[in-house]
Chains A and B, each alone.
Chain A
Amino acid sequence: MSNLKTEDVSALLELLKDSGFDELHVETDEFEIYIARRGASSRKLVRVASPSASEPVLPPDRTEVPVLPPVANRSGEKIDAPPQARAAQNGAGAQQITAPLMGTFYRAPSPGAPPFVEVGQEVTPETTIAIIEVMKLMNQIPAGVSGVIEKIFIENGALVEFGQPLMLVVPKSGQ
């Protein structure tokens, strides 16, 4: 959330409008924003501070989304724990593609077929990067952003959760 965009502000306004709250206060290292309904301002702030807060301050689109805390599986058995991808937002302009729904992540249209994308490949917002399957329904996932695939966080066939980072995309050099 380093650069606050107009869309971000509208998203915040939407969030407040649809909520039962009267005021919203977001504070990060880069900016601070305070929004109140007409006549509701008491300056007694509802703090929704820091990007690590667990509430969706912004709608979960292609912005940074907090990742689950480490999974403690008491049985010791592997149950497809999600990778820790939180620190992945490196470099200027890098963007994460996050899972728009929960399901099983597939990198290729069918078993044995070549993957939709590989690391180093250029994508446009329309490029299909993966399939997320929910109960036999295959959902094609578009990149949603332009750039070059820098990293793929999820293994083929793994369960991805809603909002979980799938891939990291960096702007094409020279752009």
Chain B
Amino acid sequence: MIRRVLIANRGEIALRIVRACRDVGCESIVASSVVDRDSLPARSATRTVVIGPARASESYLRPELIIHAALATGCDAVHPGYGFLSEQAALADLCRENGLIFIGPAPEILRRLGDKVTAREAANAVGIPVPPGAIVRSAEEADSRAAEIGYPIILKATAGGGGRGIRVLYDREALQNSFAIAANEAQSAFGDGRLHIERYVQGARHVEIQVLGDGFGNVVDLGERECSLQFNYQKVLEEAPCTALSAEQRRTICDAAVGLLKSLGYVGAATVEFLWDPARGAYYFLEVNPRVQVEHPVTEVITGIDIVAEQIRVASGDRLSFDRTSLNFCGHAIQCRINAQSPRHRLRPSPGRIEKWSIPAGPSVRVDSHCEPGYLVPPYYDSLLAKIIAWGPNRDLAIRRMSRALEELVVEGAGIDTNIALHKAILNEPKFRQGEVSTTWLNEYLESPAWTGRIRDESAKASSPRAELGRAPVTAERG
């Protein structure tokens, strides 16, 4: 069994991994940047090692610092969390070369899944439908391919992921205008300027399958999550199960995901993402995320399986603690991502110091967060403050409990703003209540009078942009 894990991450996921380490009985070393040295995850771990300055490119994104810290502190494994180096084969390679266990798949698999083209080939090889598409090397080639495929099309950076480097284009002109910019962006953001073009499925739902595999050939799905509520391809609210799937459709997609990962000999946690076209009853492969995901608690809550603990277990060479027949799916779960974002400014990041911090509790509510009163949300990293997860025996009760939890949640501080108001609004939207939102719904909703009017009213009540979150308004500066 792994004895000591180096956690190459920060924020709520670092704390989540520290907790899993405690539960399975191993020690945790958090490799942190200098601004995170006193954070809750750093204090909760067995030890923290400050590996570099605040800027991620000089700390969290440096594989050699992470490996050095792991070796120098006697760790036998490295958990990369999500984001940062979690999908970089370079870290997995270095782990292997230095006799450390990488808590994730083999570097060869990371390379194969990290490239849109080889990932599509792997899916295609096991009979999973992939949307028609191809790599395009020039604007001319993109033009002729798009004509074959038919608009709208989606233009993606081949090496992109996690919703970054994506453009939906509705006509030829838009494609001609975007191609060069997209190629440049892909080159600078991912170090790979190749672009991929695919048919864009309109009205689709984002459905993903959580899978775990061990070194004994067991690959088991833990059902699906629906993550259609996205703003600019960033997930905002996730839930399970998906309201759009019949039992038979669910079985088909889950089996497809398991078949794909079995064909790769996958060990560890992975999520296979699909687009579900409710109009045609068809599903299409999107990508595989070869790591733990932000929304994994939704699945944990309805299955009772600790996904992070299972990751550590299978990385240690043990078997999964369960099999498909022993899994019990129970009720419905929703997760709201609470971000330091300003709803009044198209959800732009809004970091600052948290002065008041009070999190919800009560029956069937779980909170995963690294925040606390007095915490300074650093401007260097992503804006996730907390994940609130609510469970209910059915979707209605899960929504009501989530509403109750959001009412209890208090985040106040100078300069800081959050998307709590947006979550409250979403939970009250008839379209969401009916379980009928597609991946474009939230972007449209943020432009709708229902939302802009709500924001205007709230701004009018507050004395200033900073006053909304509970500071007593004195005079109205803006209307």
Contacts and interface: CB of A to CB of B under 8 A. Distances in A.
Contacts of A134: 64-65, 68
Interface string B213-253: 00000000000000000000000000000000000000000
A21 B37 contact: no
Q: Closest 5 interchain pairs by CB? A: A20-B379, A161-B50, A159-B72, A54-B38, A135-B64
B69 interface: yes
B422 interface: no
Contact of A69 (B38, B52, B74): B38
A74 interface: yes
A60 B33 CA distance: 12
Contact of B414 (A45, A68, A72): A45
B49 interface: yes
A102 interface: yes
Contacts of B37: 54, 68
A159 B376 CA distance: 28
Interface stretch (B105-113, B174-182, B348-356, B438-446): B348-356
Contacts of A81: 47
Contact of B49 (A20, A44, A74, A102): A102
Nearest to B63: A135
Chain A interface size band reads 35 or more
Interface of B: 27, 29, 33-35, 37-38, 43, 46-54, 59, 64-65, 67-69, 72-74, 94, 349-353, 376, 378-379, 414-415, 464, 466
Q: Looking at chain A's contact residues, is the secondary structure mostly helix, strand, loop, or mixed? A: loop
Contacts of A164: 50
A9 to B, nearest CB: 20
Interface in A1-54: 19-23, 42, 44-47, 54
A69 B45 CA distance: 13
Contacts of B72: 80, 104, 159
A79 B73 contact: yes
A104 B378 CA distance: 28
A119 interface: no
Chain B interface SS verdict (over half): mixed
A46 B414 contact: yes
A159 B64 CA distance: 14
A46 B415 contact: yes
Contact of B351 (A20, A75, A135): A20
B68 A102 contact: yes
Interface in A47-91: 47, 54-56, 60, 68-69, 71-75, 77, 79-81
A76 B46 CA distance: 10
21 contacts: A20-B350, A23-B415, A45-B414, A55-B35, A55-B378, A56-B53, A60-B34, A69-B38, A74-B27, A74-B46, A79-B29, A80-B73, A81-B47, A101-B52, A134-B68, A135-B64, A159-B49, A159-B73, A161-B49, A161-B51, A163-B34
A137 interface: yes
Contacts of B351: 20-21
A96 B178 CA distance: 52
A56 B37 CA distance: 11
Contacts of A56: 34-35, 53-54
Contact of B69 (A46, A68, A77, A159): A159
A66 to B, nearest CB: 8
A54 B33 CA distance: 11
A161 B69 CA distance: 9
A102 B37 CA distance: 13
Nearest to B376: A55
A101 B51 CA distance: 7
A103 interface: yes
Contacts of A103: 65, 68
A164 B466 CA distance: 37
A116 interface: no
A123 to B, nearest CB: 24
A102 B67 CA distance: 11
A19 B65 contact: no
B64 A137 contact: yes
Contacts of A73: 46-47
B50 A162 contact: yes
B48 A68 contact: yes
Contacts of B34: 56, 60, 162-163
A163 B36 CA distance: 13
Given A21-B415, A56-B34, A102-B65, A79 B53 contact: no
A75 B352 contact: no
A79 B74 contact: yes
Nearest to B54: A56
Contact of A104 (B43, B48, B68, B415): B68
A80 B34 CA distance: 18
A33 B466 CA distance: 22
Given A19-B379, A104-B72, 4 more contacts: A21-B352, A60-B34, A101-B65, A163-B50
B455 to A, nearest CB: 21
Given A54-B38, A75-B46, A159-B69, A102 B51 contact: yes
A45 B376 CA distance: 13
A102 B64 CA distance: 10
A44 B466 contact: yes
Nearest to B52: A162
A126 B359 CA distance: 52
Contacts of A137: 64
A44 B414 contact: yes
A104 B352 CA distance: 35
